Amino acid sequence: MYRFSRAIYRELADEIVEDPHCGSHVNHERVLRACEAAVERLATDRHYFARPARTLFNDIRVYFPMSSQLRVLRVIQRYLGLADEFLRRLPQNGFDAYGNPLQCRASTRKGTQCQRMPLRHNGYCPSHQHLAETEELEAPLAA
């Protein structure tokens, strides 16, 4: 998954503005770490990461001049869209992109995570499908 974060960084690296008080490549490192964190969260927590492009852009836009911020946003949207498409095409074999076993998004009455295999379309196991239905009802109310 790091190929997506590194691609974002490589395309934007020339436009990063360095702070004269910090060091030579401090802002470059911050942008790279933010890109890696966003892509990793997209891979591991897609259901709770509603707007990854906007989040990453808000994290790194301070490191770019105003004249290039539209380009930065478009680069981020393009690569995170490709990463999301890549994740959707992964085979559902019980593991995520990093090889960790998938688990239901629900928690049990004791407060521990449900250990059952989730369904691909919503991340809940068959026993917790009713939670996915309530999410769909709450989304229009929140908007």
User: Rounded distance, CA 75 to CA 16, Å?
Assistant: 14
User: CA-CA distance, 60 to 49, in Å (whole number)?
Assistant: 17
Query: Based on the domain organization, do 57 and 19 belong to the same domain?
Result: yes
Q: Clarify whether residues 13 and 83 are in a common domain.
A: yes
Q: pLDDT, tens digit, for every residue of 36-91? A: 999 999 888 777 788 999 999 999 999 999 999 999 999 999 999 999 998 888 76
- Report the alpha-carbon angle 8-99-30, nearest 5: 30
Percent of the chain with pLDDT over 70: 83
Are 113 and 79 part of one and the same domain?
no
User: Does residue 65 fall inside a structural domain?
Assistant: yes
* 8 A C-beta contact, residue 43 and residue 96: yes
Structure tokens at 88: 């959707």
Q: Could you tell me which residue, 123 or 58, shows the higher pLDDT?
A: 58
Residue 138 has pLDDT above 60, yes or no: no
